[in-house]
Each structure stands twice: as structure tokens, then as C-alpha cells.
Amino acid sequence: MAYQRESKMDQISSELAQKFIAALKEETLPWSKGYDVNYHPPFNPATGTVYKGASNVILLLNNIEKGYTDPRYLTFNNAKDLGGHVRRGEKGVTCIRIQPKTINITDQEGKVILDENGEPKQRELLIPCPYTVFNVAQIDGLEHVLKPLNLAAEKHQWDPHERAEELIKNSQAKITHSEFRDIVEAPCYSPYLDQIFMPERYQFKSTERYYGTLLHELCHWTGHPSRLNRFDEKAHNLGFGRPEYAKEELRAEIGSSLMCLTLGIKHDLDDNSKAYVKSWIKVLENDPREILKAAAQADKIATYLRQYDIVKEKPKEPLLKPYQGKVHPQDIENVKQQAVERIDLNVKQRIFDFSPVKNQEKSIPTQTSLER
């Protein structure tokens, strides 16, 4: 099972890395050609889960490649529990869920190491678990449950540039603008000074390019020890062209792209970012799994910056809380009523086990289809 999971992870990493490498060789990013002013983060309407980390990037690319305009995705069981069904022949997209697992720490001989209280020392592992989801466009029978989304109506109550300006202001990042080349040769963030240096706004080719660049530097700014803590104390000595330097630049570029999509600002690689393309390609060719790490970190960066956005994302109300397993006879009507209250769904489509319960004990409802 572990071998199969590793093999699947390698396949996901390789496919995603190849998409990035192909786009980078054209000096662009995979989603640039599919830019949508009405972008909405992919989410699961059954559970209310907004897909995070690498899954967010994977589903974004899947929408662009397949031409889907709906950001909603469901697992096979989600669709079934909502009374729908995935159409025959449709292929899902594989995402990644991180499952924490606590293990005992052992020495070189395999013996468990104990702490001062005689208890086993433990550490937490983060296990990547692949799973498959389908866009709602691939699912029939959901018309009575899912209403069409009007993304255009939800977006841009604020001007994108004004919204970006407010986000930057709310972050309270220290930003210095200067037109003098002896002070600012190129946009940059200094971890040592915890300060962003930018040329003057008029020196950029467009307003989009200005905000795209500043958001890129703001993504670096999140790495400070007082924020997301991605840099060690020697981070300011990282040299151009080194692998760690290239990895951080890739995280910031993907993160700023996600932020531009969120704000409604068109974003392309600028001349400064294009200087890193060869090093990014080299990193991905040497280790395809690095794209999953970069995508996960980029989404974490974007999530951190969204706290400063004047437009707050509303929590997704889950549509589905299915009852599975045995239900005590006296609770049947109550369970049905809760199902009706939770969702406008024909109760006849739900399957309840009315067989006698052993020892007349109530079983605890499970939610296996809500794992993600």
C-alpha cells in the first residue's frame, strides 16, 4: 500500500512538474493563458472544504485544461450521497491530502526512546494521501441540490488595484520606493532588514506589473521568522542561482500568481522573474516532487496574505452530513428530519439500515464521505 502511494505521488509530481517546465520554457506560468477575472478557489460544496496546498494548484490547472468554469469538486461518494452520479467514462483528477501520523522515536537498534517520565518520545509525520475528485460538470443528478454559481456577481465590488493597495496597506509591511539605481537596482525583499525595496510606480510598464511585482516581494516578506518562518538566520546570505534561492523564488512566484488571481489582477512573469526560469527548470528536473512542495508553500503564503484582504471569503456551508450505518428504529424519523433540514433533498434517495440494532444500542453515525 505504501509503495502504491509513493508510486502515485511520483506520478502526480512528474505530471505537474512537466506542465510547469513546459510553460516556463515559454517564459510563462501554466495558468497564464487561462486567466479568468472571475477566479474562485476550488472547493467541495458537500463538505464546505476549500482545497488547499498542492490540491488548489492541481485543480486550478485542471479547470484551465478542461475548460471548466465551475470551481466545485466532489468525491465519488460525495456525489452519490447527494443523489447524483459521475457520468460513465469520466476521469477524475488526483489531489493530495496531508494526513498527520504520530510515531514513536527509536534509536539505531530500533528501540523506543523514553522521556524523563518513562513515556515514549514521539514525533509527528505528515503523510501525503492521494484521492480523486470530479468537477460538478462531470456529475449528473445534482440539479436539485447545487445552484449555478454567479461568480461575476461575487467579484470586484472593489477595483482590483484599489483592493491590492488596501491589502498591502493592511499588511503594514515596510516598503521603500526609490527611483535611484544606487539604492534600488531591482525589486527585492531583505530578510535581514525585514524590508521591501521597490522602484517608483511610474517606472513599471503597467499598473498590473507593479502590483504583481510588489505582491511577489510581499510573498517573500511572509517568510520572516515573525510570520511563516521560512528563512533561517543566514537567509540574507543566500546567493543567486543556489537551489534554495531558486526554490524560494518559485514559491513566491506561484504565491503572487494566486494572489493576483484572487484580486483580479492579470499577472505574467516580469523581466526580473524570467531571470530565474532556468534555475526553476533545473530544480524541477532534478526533483519533480519539489513542485508539490512549492505549490503547498505558495498556497500557505497566499492564505496568510488573504487575512489582509478587504474582501473576506465566506466559510462554505456544507450541504451534506450523511448518516451511514445502523440507525435505531426510534430515531429514524428524527434522522430523516435532520436530513431535510440540512439540505433540500428527496429523502427517499437516502438509504437507511432499518434492521434491528444489537442490544438496542444507538450506533454512532459515521461520515466516511466527508473525509475531505
The domain segmentation of the chain, as residue ranges, is 2-98+144-308, 99-130, 329-370
Specify the higher pLDDT residue, 2 or 90. 90
What radius of gyration, in Å, describes the C-alpha atoms of the chain? 24
Cα 105 to Cα 112: distance, rounded to the nearest angstrom? 6
Rounded to an integer, the average pLDDT of 293-316 is 89
pLDDT of the residue at 338: 55
Is the predicted pLDDT of residue 344 greater than 50, yes or no?
no
Outline where DSSP puts E strands in 112-265. Answer: 122-135, 139-140, 175-177, 188-190, 195-198
Q: What is the pLDDT of residues 84-102, one digit of tens each?
A: 999 999 999 999 887 777 8
What are the pLDDT digits (tens) for 63-84? 988 989 899 999 999 998 888 9
Residue 38 scores a pLDDT above 50:
yes
Residue 4: predicted pLDDT: 55
Cell of 321: 452530513
Q: Taking 70 as the threshold, does the pLDDT of residue 370 lie above it?
A: no
Cell numbers standing for residue 43: 472547493
Q: Whole-number mean pLDDT of the chain?
A: 79
To the nearest whole percent, how much of the chain has pLDDT over 90? 35
State the pLDDT confidence band at 132, using cuts at 50, 70 and 90: very high
DSSP code at position 191:
T
Going by pLDDT thresholds of 50, 70 and 90, the confidence category of residue 232 is low
Q: Specify whether the CB–CB gap between 291 and 16 falls below 8 A.
A: yes
Cell of 310: 478587504
Q: Locate 355 and state its grid cell.
A: 434492521
The pLDDT value recorded for residue 221 is 97
Residue 10: its pLDDT value, please? Answer: 86
pLDDT of 305 > 80? The answer is yes
Residue pair 250/285 in contact (Cβ under 8 Å)? The answer is: no
| pLDDT value of position 211 | 95
168's grid cell: 498591502
State the pLDDT at residue 55: 93
Residue 149 has pLDDT above 80, yes or no: no
The lowest-confidence range among 37-41, 290-294, 322-326 is 322-326
Residue 335 has pLDDT above 70, yes or no: no
206, containing H or E segment: none
The yes-or-no verdict on residue 343 having pLDDT over 80 is no
Take residue 206 and report the three cell numbers written for it. 503597467
User: Residue 190 pLDDT more than 60?
Assistant: yes
